[in-house]
Structure formats: C-alpha cells, structure tokens
Amino acid sequence: MMHMPDDISFLKYSSPAHIQIEVKGELDKKLSDYLGGLKIDWRTDRNKIKISRLEGEITDQTSLMGVLNALYDMRFPIINVVVKRETGTIKI
C-alpha cells in the first residue's frame, strides 16, 4: 500500500524540488553530472548491501523522470524517492 502524504499542495509539475533517491548498488560518483548533478553517497545496510543515495535540486518533473529512467537503464533497482521541503518530507 502506497503512503499518501497529508500535504502535497507544494508539488508542481514544472517547479524545482529538492529530492533524494536511493538505489540498490554502488553508483560511481563520476556519474553525478550524467544524473542531473545530484550528489552521490553510499551506505551499507544491515545485510551488507550497498545503497547509493542521490540528493540535490532538480528543475522539474521532467528532470526527475530523466534521472529515474537513467537509473533504470543502468539496472539499478530504485528503493526510495523522497521530495524534501522546508516544513517536512514527502515520500512518493
């Protein structure tokens, strides 16, 4: 079941947003420019599996789809996508 946030009024199709994406696997930090300039960091989960986190500003929903499609094309399973804002975090 998908979690629906209480307030999504700030989301706009053509507005910039601060996002965070997590994928299974270790993304090379050199891919940052290719992935919209998002910062890439890693962590290891409790099962010793590498998780890559991409974080930063996107210009609009089209940019977000470009990043997600690139990750899909590179066969990185997407774990989580979060849109951050000043008053809280919205999980999508």
The full set of domain ranges for the chain reads: 17-91
Strands (DSSP E) contained in the chain are 17-24, 39-44, 50-58, 78-85, 88-91
CB 18 within 8 A of CB 83: yes
Residue with structure tokens 């962590």? 43
Fold for 17-91, please state it: Alpha-Beta Plaits (3.30.70)
Under DSSP, the state recorded for 29 is G
3 state DSSP class of 74? coil
Report residue 30 as tokens: 């050199």
pLDDT (tens, 9 = 90+) of the chain, 92 residues, equals 455 555 666 666 677 889 999 999 999 999 999 999 999 999 999 999 999 999 999 988 899 999 999 999 999 999 999 987 644 454 55
Q: What is the pLDDT of residue 4?
A: 54
Residue whose entry in the numeric block shows the structure tokens 């079941």:
1
